[in-house]
Structure 1
Amino acid sequence: MSTDHPLVVLVGPPGAGKTTVGGLLAERLGVSLRDTDADVEAAAGKEVAEIFLTDGEDHFRDLEAEAVASAVATHRGVLALGGGAVMRPATRELLAGLPVVFLDVALADAVHRVGLDAPRPLLAVNPRKQWRTMMETRRPLYTGVARTVVATEGRTPEEVTLAVLTALELTEA
């Protein structure tokens, strides 16, 4: 299963299950998972929420764009992108033609998974309203970069993993 790009790229909002499903996909496919939020945190030496607070969203998005570009160029396993990575046109261009899966999540599930008190900078005040507003902006971007959309509502992470494998016609390693 050698490729010159990631085997699977997961996109979606906070709470979609990108990291959880990404881990299961990596395990099933016998490859590693790379999470660009973790890459940003490692490069900055601080958590995403702290970067937002101390350096601002623009600085975070710059770091995120660098992390995505590096991961797309070098990682050959499963790649989970931060929820806002698709906001940058250059990132969307990098994703063109790649096996990108949009994990679509319902508001109720996202709120349950993320939690109302989780350190998500963009969801800090009135998280339900912020999430809806965020999705109005991002949904067209997620669907625009995705080869396929997998709904997560009412599905376990294992069921979502199987749906991704089926949608991308990937056989297990």
Structure 2
Amino acid sequence: MNAPAVVLIGPMGVGKSTVGELLAHRLGTVFRDTDHDIVEIAGKPISEIFLDDGEQQFRALERQAVRAALAEHRGVLALGGGAVLAAETRELLAGAPVVYLDMDVAEAVKRVGLDAPRPLLMMNPRKQWRELMDERRPLYTEVARAVVSTEKRTPDEVADEILDVLELKQK
């Protein structure tokens, strides 16, 4: 199967981009983030896509970006926090080296912050984050080959564990 070397999934703020960049460097490959692809396709930030066009349009763009990235990219790939909501995406991830980066709500609030431009967390971020995770956690674990906690760990420690659990060699 042609697939990225590593696919990182998990909630917003968990460190997919930071850890993904580190992993790509260590593996001698490139990093790609489907959220960045969506911004390029739409020509505006994700928060504006949500406000101007709605979540449904954003999710359509997200499915398109994920499908393209999984078909084309061979490096380290990070998916947006809600990408796993689409059954099509979960099917495309079957058999891929998917790692679910996990953290609890207290850590999420610290990392994401309460004033960050996150469209799905505009009201009562703690409560909404818990609700999002109640919905998404089973989907993350369904498609993940490994679950790696980012709690109280540096990005380097998280990257080390991912390399270890996927049995990947650094370049």
TM-score where L is the length of structure 1: 0.97
User: 1:97-134: per-residue Cα shift (whole Å, max 9, x none)?
Assistant: 00000001111111111111000000111000000000
Whether the aligned pair in 2 keeps the contact of 1:100 and 1:145 (CA below 8 Å) is yes
User: Which of 119, 122, 125 is the matching residue for 1:121?
Assistant: 119
5+ unaligned residues in a row in structure 1: which ranges?
A: none
Instruction: Tell me the amino acid that sits aligned with residue 36 of structure 2.
Output: A
Q: What is the TM-score of this pair, normalised by structure 2?
A: 0.99
C-alpha deviation, 1:172, in angstroms: 0.5
CA distance in structure 2 between the partners assigned to 1:157 and 1:139 by the alignment:
21
Q: Which runs of 5+ in 2 are unaligned?
A: none
Q: Which residue of 2 aligns with 1:102?
A: 100
Q: Which of 52, 66, 69 is residue 67 of structure 2 equivalent to? A: 69
Alignment of 1:156-171 (within 5 A): 156-171=154-169
* Residue of structure 1 in register with 2:35 after alignment: 37
| Matches of 2:150 and 2:50, distance apart in 1 | 28
The whole-number CA distance in structure 2 between the counterparts of 1:84 and 1:152 is 18
How far residue 169 of structure 1 moved from its aligned partner, in angstroms, is 0.6
In the alignment, which residue of structure 1 is the partner of 2:90? Answer: 92
Give the whole-Å Cα distance in 2 for the aligned partners of 1:163 and 1:106.
18
Cα drift, residue 55 of structure 1: 0.2
- 2:79 corresponds to 1:54: no
| CA apart distance, 1:168 | 0.4
Q: Which runs of structure 1 show a deviation greater than 2 angstroms over 4 or more consecutive aligned residues?
A: none
In structure 2, what is the equivalent of residue 148 of structure 1? Answer: 146
Give the partner amino acid of 1:7.
Answer: A
Give secondary structure in 1 for the equivalent of 2:44: coil
Aligned to 1:22: 20
Cα separation, 2, equivalents of 1:8 and 1:119: 27
In the comparison of the two structures, how many residue pairs are matched?
171
CA drift of 1:5 comes to 1.0
CA contact (8 A) 1:10 1:18 kept: yes
What is the distance in 1 between the residues matched to 2:111 and 2:27? Answer: 25
